[in-house]
Structure 1
Amino acid sequence: MPIRGIAIGRPQETYQPDALRGALAEFISTLIFVFAGEGSGMAYNKLTEDASTTPAGLVAAALAHAFGLFVAVAISANISGGHVNPAVTFGAFLGGHITLVSGILYWIAQLLGSTVACLLLRVSTGFLTTSAFSLSKGVSVWNALVLEIVMTFGLVYTVYATALDRRSKGNIGIIAPIAIGFIVGANILAGGAFDGASMNPAVSFGPALVSWDWKNHWVYWVGPLIGGGIAGLVYEFFFRTNHHHEQLISSDV
């Protein structure tokens, strides 16, 4: 069962070559993803004079994030597992796929990647604002919390079904990055007009830190972590067979 598979890990993991390579892969992948996603929003705002909340702006955001995440997962899948998201890492931890120590290392790398991406965007665009995630008019924090839980559940469940499940070999394993990108794009179309559809604490953290706008920021941590955790537990309890602990970072990478 997943609870039995949970492992804390050892402090030595933080400086093992495999763990460091995995963290570096997460840093680079998250940087690429956030640079593309956040950058697309900044570009659209510049071209349309801050009309990113239009239907066209929502479609543009969905496509940019879907394409960016597809690439980010694909380029890091064989090194770190292609998490690119603290909620995915948390869900994988609860399912016994990664130790807590390695998970924390991933979190640090993901948050740094997002922050560096936003800093690079600020510098390369003449110091345009990196907009933090925010709630639309009429949307309460509780509405947004439920949205983030449901959307992140769908994302992490997709990760489990296409990437983490050992039976996801062959064609299913190959299309994992595409499926993961697609579910994020679809969720942005569904929830983007309400709370921005983050599903990823790292994606929310970088813009908030660089713009120093923390209003309702907790929603973009609590919602995704709850949704990701539930998805991991549900998949492990009900759909996995012959479960035993397996770290995403293996010694032969």
Structure 2
Amino acid sequence: MSDNPSRALTAEAIGTFALCFIGILSINLDAISGADGTASLTTVALAHGLTIAVMVAALGALSGAHFNPAVTAGFVATGRMTPARGAQYVAAQVAGAVLASLLVGFLFGLEAVAAGTPAMSSNVHPLGGAAVEAVTTFLLVLVIFGTAVDARAPRSVYPMAIGLTVALDIMATGPITGAAMNPARALGPALVGGQWGAHWVYWVGPLLGGVAAAFLQHRFFMVTAPSRETAVRGGPAPAEERGLA
């Protein structure tokens, strides 16, 4: 892991801050700008996905660019991260999400934060919502491990692959559950905006899906990986690779 944990934790907070700040604002484009028809599902999906892509590219060398407690849970469950460091990552992610929500609330009102909080359709049972969140997070973590963790994958592809997975998940399930795939993305605006409807869905679903995908990759798909690097990638780059040694 990083020779300086504060760098990794700061990177996790910034990346999650960016996801929540851009994500909440993209959902509120109509209300904030006064225009009609700008906040389409495609716009919201690409705003979230592109934010993740650029933040992964910018900060992945520092922290592994989890930005998501469900991703961190997968790393802890497969032994790539200690529970203590995982708890620190989750705390940093939640802090970033809360700070982003507070800033949006200060600038544009708490109504914008509430509107940007993931919420389920009234036609969906909470158990169905949890299942949808589990499947979409499963796909996200599967892609993260398959592109960013497995040393056999091309290094240049993973930021965009991860970002596009976020975007396609939102396009498919945004109107159903809000497509959080990320407990911090749900908790930050919920704390600030006061929207707690079926909040457990956004923890149980993503955590189950994320851990399941991590185990599948770790125990089955990556078991024949040719190098030790496969077992340790997905965290910060070694100090010597970042010119810090």
Same fold (TM over 0.5): yes
Q: 1:156, 1:232 within 8 Å by CA — same for their partners in 2?
A: yes
Work out the CA distance in 2 between the residues paired with 1:223 and 1:143.
10
Task: Give the equivalent residue in structure 2 for 1:90.
Answer: 73
1:164 to 149, 160, 163: 149
Over aligned residues, Cα RMSD in angstroms? 2.2
Work out the CA distance in 2 between the residues paired with 1:120 and 1:111.
14
Q: 1:98, 1:249 within 8 Å by CA — same for their partners in 2?
A: no
The yes-or-no answer on 1:220 pairing with 2:202 is yes
Matches within 5 A, 1:16-35: 18-35=4-21
Work out the CA distance in 2 between the residues paired with 1:215 and 1:176.
34
Deviation of 1:188 after TM superposition, in Å, equals 0.5
1:144 to 120, 123, 129: 129
The yes-or-no answer on 1:115 pairing with 2:101 is no
- TM-score, scaled relative to structure 2: 0.88
Task: Give the equivalent residue in structure 1 for 2:50.
Answer: 67
Deviation of 1:213 after TM superposition, in Å, equals 1.9
Number of residue pairs matched? 233
Q: Secondary structure at the match of 1:177?
A: helix
Structure 2 runs not aligned, ≥5 long: none
Q: 1:18, 1:249 within 8 Å by CA — same for their partners in 2?
A: no
Work out the CA distance in 1 between the residues paired with 2:134 and 2:109.
35
Q: 2:110, 2:193 within 8 Å by CA — same for their partners in 1?
A: no
Q: Secondary structure at the match of 1:175?
A: helix
- TM-score, scaled relative to structure 1: 0.85
Work out the CA distance in 1 between the residues paired with 2:106 and 2:163.
27
Distance 1:175 1:237, change over 3 A: same
Matches within 5 A, 1:1-253: 18-47=4-33, 57-131=40-114, 132-168=117-153, 172-240=154-222, 241=224, 246=232, 248-249=235-236, 252=239
Structure 1 runs not aligned, ≥5 long: 1-12
Work out the CA distance in 2 between the residues paired with 1:126 and 1:211.
9
Deviation of 1:158 after TM superposition, in Å, equals 0.2
Deviation of 1:44 after TM superposition, in Å, equals 3.1
Work out the CA distance in 1 between the residues paired with 2:32 and 2:237.
44
Work out the CA distance in 2 between the residues paired with 1:224 and 1:44.
29
